[in-house]
């Protein structure tokens, strides 16, 4: 892994995302890009009193310089204990749509991971239903790590990888394996079936899937559970196993449909306290 981008806007949720991004960048020896986006509406706001175009441009330039100054302060804070590390930190400011701008940045800078904060959510639906994180996940071709506002960084000792179709190739699985090797993690492959389904096919493929896709990592186990809904099953499993990170596969068509079929849980789902890494299904040309 060479480059990590963190979407940062000085909010509490983005500050927590930055903690994760910074720790991962140091552990993985990757370059960290702090991405600050100015909404198009804010960039286009005219100066007070209907000032002429030149005055508006000056105001926008001053505003940009203020953003740069604040981000540079963040850089210095991150490199406080190791000033030489500033060379591996970079600030990026763009105007317009955050989803489109970060998508372009990921493509142009060949980014390997995007880290974005997320305010408290009651369920997975609230993470990706119309949020900035959802738009980023849909547009970029690299893994996206969504960090809850109140999550505390710690080693990923247990990682649950929720799979819904056994034979689907996840092209981002390499990052999961890399993190597992760095942290000495146990990977728990989880297949949740609703009561309307049968576990026969999943169970039959247990050995083939584990051996063919994950043989490079020693500590892998495979689990099939039956639950009222997929999300409730994930929440129960992550809670009972004291998991440190949840991984979900992203589908290009109707990516979250299998999670939206049932009503939301009555109480806040346990997994919404966890970092959630969204990976992508391998695309066939």
pLDDT at 284 over 60: no
Q: What percent of the chain has pLDDT over 70?
A: 70
**Which one is predicted more confidently, 133 or 199?**
133
Euclidean distance between the first and final Cα of the chain, in Å?
25
Average pLDDT over residues 133-153: 85
DSSP state of 154: -
pLDDT at 168 over 60: no
For the chain, domain boundaries: 1-152, 154-285
Torsional class of 50: left (φ above 0), alpha (ψ -120 to 50), beta (otherwise):
left
Task: Report the CATH fold assignment for 1-152.
Answer: Rossmann fold (3.40.50)
Average pLDDT over residues 138-145: 88
Q: Do domains 1-152 and 154-285 have the same CATH topology?
A: yes
**Which one is predicted more confidently, 94 or 229?**
94
pTM: 0.82
**216-259 pLDDT, tens per residue?**
677 888 888 888 888 888 888 999 999 999 998 765 544 445 55
Specify the pLDDT at position 208.
Answer: 47
pLDDT at 283 over 60: no
CATH 3.40.50.620 fits 154-285, yes or no: yes
């Amino acid at each position: 892994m060479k480059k990590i981008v963190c979407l940062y806007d000085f909010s509490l949720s983005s500050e927590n995302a930055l903690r994760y991004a910074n720790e991962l960048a140091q552990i993985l020896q990757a370059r960290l890009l702090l991405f600050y986006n100015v909404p198009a509406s804010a960039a286009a706001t005219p100066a007070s009193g209907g000032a002429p175009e030149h005055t508006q441009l000056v105001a926008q330039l001053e505003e940009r310089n203020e953003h740069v100054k604040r981000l540079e302060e963040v850089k210095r804070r991150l490199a406080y204990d190791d000033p030489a590390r500033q060379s591996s930190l970079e600030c990026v400011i763009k105007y317009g749509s955050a989803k489109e701008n970060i998508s372009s940045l990921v493509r142009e800078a060949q980014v390997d991971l995007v880290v974005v904060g997320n305010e408290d959510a009651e369920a997975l639906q609230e993470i990706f239903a119309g949020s900035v994180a959802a738009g980023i996940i849909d547009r970029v071709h690299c893994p996206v790590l969504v960090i809850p506002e109140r999550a505390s960084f710690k080693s990923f000792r247990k990682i649950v990888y929720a799979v819904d179709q056994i034979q689907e190739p996840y092209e981002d699985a390499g990052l999961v394996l890399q993190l597992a090797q760095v942290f000495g993690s146990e990977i728990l492959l989880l297949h949740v079936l609703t009561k309307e389904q049968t576990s026969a096919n999943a169970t039959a493929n247990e050995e083939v899937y584990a051996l063919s896709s994950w043989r490079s990592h020693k500590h892998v186990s495979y689990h099939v559970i039956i639950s009222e809904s997929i999300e409730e099953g994930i929440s129960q499993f992550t809670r009972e196993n004291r998991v440190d990170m949840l991984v979900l596969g992203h589908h290009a068509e109707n990516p979250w449909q299998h999670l939206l079929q049932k009503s939301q849980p009555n109480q806040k789902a346990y997994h919404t306290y966890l970092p959630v890494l969204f990976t992508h299904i391998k695309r066939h040309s």
